[in-house]
Amino acid sequence: MRVIGIREKIIWVAGIILVFVSCSACANKKSNMHEESLSETQIWYSVGKKAATESLNLIKDSGIVPDIENLIILTNSGYVEVGGGSTEAAIDGLASVTGVSRGSNTLIEIHTAIWSPLWFAVYDIKSGLCTYFQVDSNKVLSVSDPLAVMLVELFSHQAMENIKYDHIYAHAAYFESTFGSKPFGGNEFRIIAIANAVASGITGPLLRVLEFHDHFCPGILSGIIMSDYLKNNFPPEPGGEYFVHSIDPWCKEDALIVLLNATPGKKSYSVSYLTAEDKADWVQEIQDVSSIVFRQNPQSKIWEGLALAFHWPEINVPEFPDDSVKKLYRSLWFLDHIEAYEDFIQELKRFKLSEGLTPHDWVKKGHRIFNRLQFEEN
């Protein structure tokens, strides 16, 4: 049996010590990272809590007692990054004070770019009062203790307005100047329109559309209406899916992407930006097309296409001085007529692709897809 020498024992012991020290250092590093992450989470939780608390206090200071059971909170927290870190813990802070939640459709998360300013809006449905608080990111980054958040002035901008739609209609001239001064940091229409839509009862997948699109407008409603038409008149085969080719893209695309789960990333959504010259040789019956939706027969593997047009109705809008107020009026009008999809959607043509062809082949034809010969062949 081999006997270990003194020198080898020293090397062996030194190795054990080195491994122990390395593991301890690694564990300490992970522990420090965890504590740092936990601290950041607690700070953002406190920021959300502070925003909600000060919002309710601002409403109270106006002589109104907030109806805690009927609040809507809108925020871009979770999308925005500050100092390279997440801000989503602020959402839990907001909920801890107000009780809003996703399931009750009272916590609205507005899609935004990660570099956008972070903001919170608290809407009291009963009174119509809405507060707006925009975060000074540098102030938050200077705070290291979650308890200190409540003691520091963290907001670079705050405001409160009555944004209930009937109040806005009655004071349209006032809101013309108000929108111009940007009391809500440039998010005026975004907050006002979505808050009123939610208060009017929009829920579930339709609300997810508004969050993704980041505002509520007639254009996004046209996509919701088109999706409803497809669901009832051109449903996908069991286990199937859609491919969408938009010929005349507008806000409707975001609604179709969310509601149909057809996305460019999954290679099931295509958009063409065409000119009048591109459409010059199209057959007359297809001139007004705005979207072509395809579905595949699982048995035959043949793709069927449906060409749709959307016709904008004539809406008798009062002579409001501000275009944003007019847009709000049109949006809420559409919301009241959202189930009358057949009043707006025109089915132009149903057709089948030849065996072996896919919507991708169709799209590659570009603006020639509807010239007379190729259309009739398909």
CATH architecture of 220-377: 2-Layer Sandwich (3.30)
CB distance 134 to 119 below 8 Å? yes
SS3 174: helix
Cβ of 295: how many Cβ atoms within 10 Å?
A: 19
Let me know: does 281 contact 365? Beta carbons within 8 Å: no
42-214 with 220-377: one CATH topology? yes
User: Can you give the pLDDT of all 378 residues of the chain as single tens digits?
Assistant: 444 566 555 555 455 544 444 544 444 444 444 445 558 999 999 999 999 999 999 999 999 999 999 999 999 999 999 999 999 999 999 999 999 999 999 999 999 999 999 999 999 999 999 999 999 999 999 988 888 888 889 999 999 999 999 999 999 999 888 777 899 999 999 999 999 999 999 989 999 999 999 999 999 999 999 999 999 999 998 888 899 999 889 999 999 999 999 999 999 999 988 877 877 777 788 888 999 999 998 888 999 999 999 999 999 999 998 899 999 999 999 999 989 988 999 999 999 988 888 999 888 866 566 664 455 444
Count helices and strands in the chain by DSSP H and E runs: 12, 12
**Given this model, what pLDDT does residue 285 score?**
82
The pLDDT assigned to 45 comes to 96
How much is the pLDDT for 10? 53
User: Closest by alpha carbon to 114, among 78, 161, 157?
Assistant: 78
Name the class of domain 42-214. Answer: alpha beta
* Predicted pLDDT at 5: 60
Those residues whose C-beta lies under 8 Å from the C-beta of residue 308, and which sit 6 or more positions away, are 226, 229, 289, 290, 291, 292, 293, 345, 346, 347, 348
Backbone angles phi, psi at 18, to 5 degrees: -60, -45
> Which tokens go with 94?
């907001």
From residue 313, alpha-carbon distances to 156, 207, 291, 344 in Å are 42, 23, 18, 7
Strand 242-246 and strand 155-162: the pairing is unpaired
Residue ranges of domains in the chain: 42-214, 220-377
For residue 29, the model assigns a pLDDT of: 45
Q: Tell me what pLDDT residue 2 has.
A: 47
Question: Would you state the pLDDT for residue 244?
Answer: 97
Residue written as tokens 């909920």? 95
pTM of the predicted model as reported, rounded to 2 decimal places = 0.86
Q: Which two tokens stand for residue 365?
A: 């034809």
Q: Residue-wise over 226-238: b if at least 16 C-beta within 10 A, else e? A: bbbbbeeebebee
Query: DSSP for 79-91?
Result: T-EETTEE-THHH
For residue 32, list its beta bridge partners.
none
Please return the burial class of 49, using the count of CB atoms within 10 Å of its CB with bins 0-12, 13-18 and 19+. Answer: buried
